Amino acid sequence: MIQQSIDPEEDDEVNFQSFSHGLHIGGRWVQASNGRQIEVVDPSTEAVIAAVPDATLEDAASAVEAAALAAPGWRETAPRKRSEILRRCYELMVERSEMLAMLISMENGKALRDARGEVAYAAEFFRWNAEEAVRITGEFGIAPSGTNRIVVDYQPIGICVLITPWNFPAAMATRKIAPALAAGCTVILKPATETPLTAYALAAIYQEAGVPPGVVNVLTTTSPGPLTSAMLADPRVRKLSFTGSTGVGRTLLAEAAKHVISCSMELGGNAPLIVFDDADLDVALDGAMVAKMRNAGEACTAANRLYVQSGIHDAFVEGLTKRMAALVVGAGTDTATECGPMITRKAVAKIGRLVEEATLRGAKVQCGGTIPDGKGFFYPPTVLSEVPDDVEMAREEIFGPVAPVFRFESEEDVIARANDTEYGLAAYIFTRDLARGMRVASKVEAGMIALNRGLVSDPAAPFGGVKQSGLGREGGQHHGIAEFMEAKYIAASF
Ligand code: NAD
């Protein structure tokens, strides 16, 4: 396996031979023990662009072993030193951001502008957690009985298994790795098989930044279920942090329950976007475009149901259709592209099926709605109006560039409809009336609310969902790092 790390001189050129993409175990780059590989496909062209190892149970055991060997040293590393290494990870990611963005665009297909945004967001988790690493504090108090002091110390939870999806190959990994390392934990990352290259490129950066061997291990596999079960069965593993679909999250919660392992779950969403009559139309349209079209709709926070009040409905649909129809669709790596391809052909077929079902039930296609011929997994930006409430896409994540618009009349009505889902990740509200905005925000069942804006993610804010969108929070002051620590209480008499 090629040992060379990323060449900063190459800047935005991505030469796959120029960086290691073997399994990253104990600081070494190795092939899978069975020699098998997984092909990585560019969704814009359908071309195979690289291959990565297909890890076995034996490789997973080696990764846990490496994380266990590195654990005592990393846990004892001074917080200031850990902080400086994390800060260096941030700096190197920023230095290499153009190359990383190009890599993300190639393996995920997202438009380069979205990939650049992702790299900046992903790097920020290192900067933020470099600052958090030196601010871990405990508690000290007197017991109510007066007999002793209560001392509470926060300690690293132990070895963590981290599992991430393909839609944000850099950010979903750094949102876990950075706080875990700040807390003093060692980790095994299993990125999605569709987008493994970014994870390996980042592993080389961590190593260059001074993260010791074994502190971050990365492995790719086509058998995530058996490998995860085996890792969770190792008593040294104490944490599972998962980002992905609610279905897989449920399976993993059951698996973790067998060993009573702490779980953080960032799962699926079905975000409502609510536009009241008194909203500023341009602000609402700008916000809707970001909430719907960041990553071509392949985001857990993507607006999945757009509820628009009757008085502003027609102007909103007209404005949204104009903006969606004008988007440049193309290869992710093309700088002009505003909407790249979907991740797989299967994803395109699912979106096509949802749109067909909605139109059969009476939804009107304002733009898009037809799968194009030719290479690449493309689906056009699509607006549907007059969408009835009982369509499948109102219950399921569309995960694509389709905006279904539903009409509503009253505040009570829209709150009930917004909450009529098993999910509760993000929601968007547009109104000029701040009192109404805050009232509706408090009643909508979601972990995150964007008020008069289309973007909610921020490393400095707690990210996460309620209901079946997950358990726990990532990012934010204390929240993200707390997921990787455990309280130890000492009853002290002196
Ligand atoms: P997915 O659940 O299919 O896969 C996620 C990860 O889990 C991948 O690495 C996959 O290989 C792995 N996996 C699959 N089956 C597994 C098993 N049995 N055991 C262990 N690991 C397994 O999800 P996806 O299609 O990659 O990503 C899209 C989903 O992720 C959407 O539902 C989206 O909403 C969600 N998501 C949530 C957030 C959030 O922060 N809440 C962020 C991004 C994506």
Average pLDDT over residues 428-442: 98
State the pLDDT confidence band at 6, using cuts at 50, 70 and 90. very low
Q: What is the pLDDT of residues 393-429, one digit of tens each?
A: 999 999 999 999 999 999 999 999 999 999 999 999 9
Name which of 11-25, 88-102, 150-164 the model is least confident about. 11-25
The answer to whether 296 and 104 have CB atoms below 8 angstroms apart is: no
C-alpha dihedral (89, 298, 304, 274), degrees to nearest 10: 40
Measured in angstroms, how far is the CA atom of residue 192 from the centroid of ligand 1?
Answer: 8
pTM score of the predicted model: 0.96
> How many Cβ atoms sit within 10 Å of the Cβ of residue 153?
15
485 C-alpha vs ligand 1 centroid, how far in Å? 24
The pLDDT of 160-169, averaged and rounded, is 98
Q: Which atom of ligand 1 is nearest to the CA of 190?
A: 9
> What's the pLDDT tens digit per position in 251-296?
999 999 999 999 999 999 999 999 999 999 999 999 999 999 999 9
| SS3 letters across 132-158 | HHCCCCCEEEECCCCCCEEEEEEEECC
Is the per-residue pLDDT at 11 higher than 60?
Answer: no
List C-alpha distances in Å: 236 to 65, 154, 208, 242, 243: 9, 18, 27, 18, 22
Q: What is the whole-number distance in angstroms between the Cα of residue 229 and the centre of ligand 1?
A: 16
Residue 7 pLDDT = 40
Structure tokens at 178: 């950075």
Residue 241 near residue 175, CB atoms below 8 Å: no
Whole-number pLDDT of residue 19: 67
Cβ-contact 284, 430 below 8 angstroms: yes
pLDDT at 165 over 90: yes
Q: What is the DSSP letter of 211?
A: P
Is the confidence at residue 4, as pLDDT, over 70?
A: no
Supply the pLDDT for residue 18: 65
Predicted local distance difference test score (pLDDT) of residue 21: 75
* Whether pLDDT at 365 is above 80: yes
Q: Which of 245, 301, 351, 469 to mutate to test the pocket of ligand 1 (most atoms within 8 A of CB)?
A: 245
Pocket lining for ligand 1, CB < 6 angstroms: 163-168, 172, 190, 192-193, 224-225, 228, 243-245, 248, 251-252, 266-269, 300, 397, 425, 465, 470
Question: Is the pLDDT score of 3 beyond 70?
Answer: no
Dist. CA 343 → ligand 1 center (Å): 13
At 20 the pLDDT is 66
Whether the predicted pLDDT of 8 surpasses 60: no
Mean pLDDT of the chain: 96
Mean pLDDT of 442-448: 98
Distance CA(384)–CA(366), nearest Å, equals 6
Residue 478 CB burial class (10 angstroms; 0-12, 13-18, ≥19): middle
2, pLDDT greater than 70: no
Residue with CA closest to ligand 1 atom 32: 245
Q: What are the catalytic residues?
A: 266, 300
Query: Does residue 86 surpass a pLDDT of 80?
Result: yes
pLDDT of residue 13: 58
Residue 10 has pLDDT above 70, yes or no: no
Domains and CATH numbers, the chain: 23-267+470-492 (3.40.605.10), 271-458 (3.40.309.10)
- d(CA 34, CA 23) in angstroms, rounded, equals 12
Tell me, in angstroms, the distance from the centre of ligand 1 to residue 266's CA.
9
Rounded CA-CA distance 108/192 in Å is: 11
Q: With 90 as the cut, is the pLDDT of residue 136 above it?
A: yes
How confident is the model at residue 477, as a pLDDT? 84
Give the residue, out of 229, 300, 348, 350, with the most ligand 1 atoms within 8 A of its beta carbon, to mutate for a pocket test.
Answer: 300
Taking only the tens place, the pLDDT of each residue in 20-66 is 679 999 999 999 999 999 999 999 999 999 999 999 999 999 999 99
Best residue for ligand 1 mutational test, from 38, 40, 163, 399 (most atoms within 8 Å of Cβ): 163
Task: Specify the residue for token string 């009559």.
Answer: 277
